Homo-oligomer: A and B are copies of this chain.
Amino acid sequence: MKPDRLKRYSLLQELSSRGVRMTGQRKVLVELIQESEDHLDAATLLERARQRDPGINRATVYRTIELLKRLRLIDELDLMRLNGEKHFYEARTNVDHVHLACFECGKVEEFSSPLFERLKQEITRVNGFTIRVTRLEVGGRCRSCCAQVRTPIECGEETCCKSLKNLNC
């Protein structure tokens, strides 16, 4: 399933329906997360927010992220530490999905599948575990990078990670 097939929650709507106070700063931040095509980290979010409200503070960004996370309106991602320690955020979707992070080019694809839903059901059934959040991240080499690069991914090869850091590979 393509990313654009995934439905994102309307954050503003959810917030107001839950009686959360809507400040100017929150509105800007929430809109940015909602609109964003890519996965935002806190620093990028701050940077973009300052273009709309120059006075906005870093702490507010983190506090808003915290709020949205607690309300389960956004998901937090690591993207296999493709870009270091940062965390990334996205508006929640109606269906959980996998993030495929390419160690070669850094691209991140999204993928959802009924198999994932079945796996979740199995977890609940077999372990008696009530699932609240899931995070499935996969690291490797995307289709176009596989086509370009001759050498297969080899364990321990220095060459396989090239310029990227913290690859887990």
Q: Can you tell how many copies of this chain the complex includes?
A: 2
Complex contact A141–B169 (CB within 8 A): no
CB-CB nearest in chain B for A124: B140
- Asked if A161 and B70 sit within 8 Å, CB to CB, the answer is yes
Interface size range of chain A in the complex: 35 or more
Which residue on B lies nearest to A169, using beta carbons? B132
Q: Does A153 contact B (CB under 8 A)?
A: yes
Asked whether B70 lies within 8 Å of A169 as measured between CB atoms, the reply is yes
Q: Is there a chain B Cβ closer than 8 Å to A78's Cβ?
A: yes
A31 to B102, CA, bound (A): 32
Which of A41-49, A53-61, A111-119 contacts the other chain? A111-119
Pair B135/A141 contact, Cβ less than 8 Å:
no
Contact of A24 with B by CB under 8 A: no
Least Cβ–Cβ distance between A22 and chain B, in angstroms: 15
**A111 and B139 within 8 A (CB):** no
- Which residue of chain B has the shortest Cβ distance to A135 in the bound complex? B137
Q: Which among A18, A139, A152 has the highest number of chain B CB atoms within 10 Å?
A: A139
